[in-house]
Amino acid sequence: MSIVYLVGAGPGDPGLLTLRAKELIEQADVLIYDYLANKEFLSFASPECEVIYVGKKGGDHTLPQDRINTLLVGKALEEEGRIIVRLKGGDPYVFGRGAEEAEELVEAGVAFEVVPGVTSAVAAPAYAGIPITHRRFTSSVSFITGHEDPTKDATSINWGALAASGSTLVFFMGVKNLPVISAKLIEHGMRPDMPCALVHWGTTCRQRSFVSSLDRVAEEAQALGYKAPSLIIVGEVCSLKERLDWFEMKPLLGLGVVVTRSREQASDLSCRLRELGACCYEFPTIDIAPLDDDAPVREAAKTLSANDWVVFTSVNGVWRFFDVLDDMGLDARAFGAAKVAAIGPATAAALCERGIRADFVPEKYVAEDVVDGLLARGVAGRKVLIPRARMAREVLPEKLVAAGAEVTVLPVYETRLADADPGEILAALDKGGIQFVTFTSSSTVENFFARISPEAFAPYKDQVKLACIGPVTAKTLERFGFAPDVMAGEYTIPGLIDAIMASIT
């Protein structure tokens, strides 16, 4: 029998997705997700997974609830032995209509399980510096819907009890009804100056929040343009926001940054930027692909120890070369007495993971400095192997040959233009949602402009800063008619991030 998992996706921060939720997304044959479930989680699904978006955005539903129920049952019954994941923002049973979906599954005889998620009622206030309980203020909390079932004859909210409870009140889906909510609470005896907060898109890079008083909050929310999804918190605990705020202090909060690295490497830069609050748009412009014929790599591996130096110019080169070694049953011992050079610390770290400590890493992480360092170490007359991309700058082998070295360039992978859809990037540019585009190599520049022409990008140049990892990448950018606004002092990912940080202060 197929089984349906009603899975809580949490409030939006990818770090708040549970391990069980991630495991099920990875195993899913069908993934049905709604508006509040972070789209990043779709990357955990297998390429064979059928992914279905069902909307549910503030009354604008791609599919109404009854059709979602029918879809869940239908997908479970159309084929045996499948895993259907219904991914819902927050927690399925906290104002998520998960219970209604579960009832439909029971009625149809479909097996199901519930995977709780972190509810925004707890997470969004915490990210806004508001503890929903505090011994000095309150020891209870109430979760209330601000949008009741419109088919009900009368409200089920006891406004008098809420106003008199002394609890922190957390309203879901209530921003449209905020004037009514505040008026009802005041009407039933709550102080007009009771602190009240709104948190918009809590726990995400789009988060913003403010604290007002109950009698003024609706007017201020309208003036500030607050819309769904926004959480309303009412209670004395809101007075702690100014003191305990932490998330909105992040230096890159809300800034849109395009990451153009390959899919394999994008997560490293994206994770670092997200930690600083940035909204990352992953737009992989290059694909790293193994060679169709790796016979030359295998032959080189058999005589690896005959080289005096093996020079790695990228992390990808390390990964792909060792993939072949692994397949041949070889490891770091195959290097024998050969010395190893790495173009930078990231490449050196990749080597360390494979049991090789680089003998030389230049102070500046460009090919020219690798050449100078090797020349200083007496490379003339020595055998040098360079595992690298099929297409790469020739300065390193050419200068080593000129210095008298016996150089073998060994392609171990190739870079290709990634099949990335520029639609999301162009839409975000149109809305002013992107402030930086990052380039970590010349190929990311070339392939970015292969997908978005210089002419199409030019109108946005004044609103977007172009950030390059180093001078070689910057020169490539200049060939397309653009000057870098930001360039790393140290030609590394941390150096690039430091340069972006410095550019906004």
Choose among 471, 474, 490: nearest CA to 482: 474
Under a CB-based contact definition with an 8 Å cutoff, are residues 149 and 42 in contact?
no
Percent helix, strand and coil across the chain, each to the nearest 5 = 40, 20, 40
Residue 138's DSSP bridge partners are 134
Q: What angle do CA 360, 268, 199 make, to 5 degrees?
A: 150
Selected catalytic residue, list 88, 91, 173, 339: 173
C-alpha 254: how far from chain center? 13
- Cis peptide bond N-terminal to 229, omega within 30: yes
- The rounded distance, in Å, linking the Cα atoms of 173 and 147 is 6
Under a CB-based contact definition with an 8 Å cutoff, are residues 222 and 249 in contact?
no
- The rounded distance, in Å, linking the Cα atoms of 206 and 202 is 8
Selected catalytic residue, list 34, 91, 294, 308: 34
> Which position has the token pair 């060939």?
479
- The rounded distance, in Å, linking the Cα atoms of 217 and 228 is 15
Selected catalytic residue, list 13, 56, 88, 190: 56
Please say if 268 is a catalytic residue: no
Please say if 194 is a catalytic residue: no
Please say if 34 is a catalytic residue: yes
Phi, psi for residue 144 in degrees, rounded to 5:
-135, 140
C-alpha 53: how far from chain center? 19
Q: Which residues of 183-198 are buried (b: 16+ CB within 10 A; e: fewer)?
A: ebbbeeebeeebbbbb
Helices 395-402 and 367-376 pack at an angle, to 10 degrees, of: 20
Active site residues: 34, 56, 173
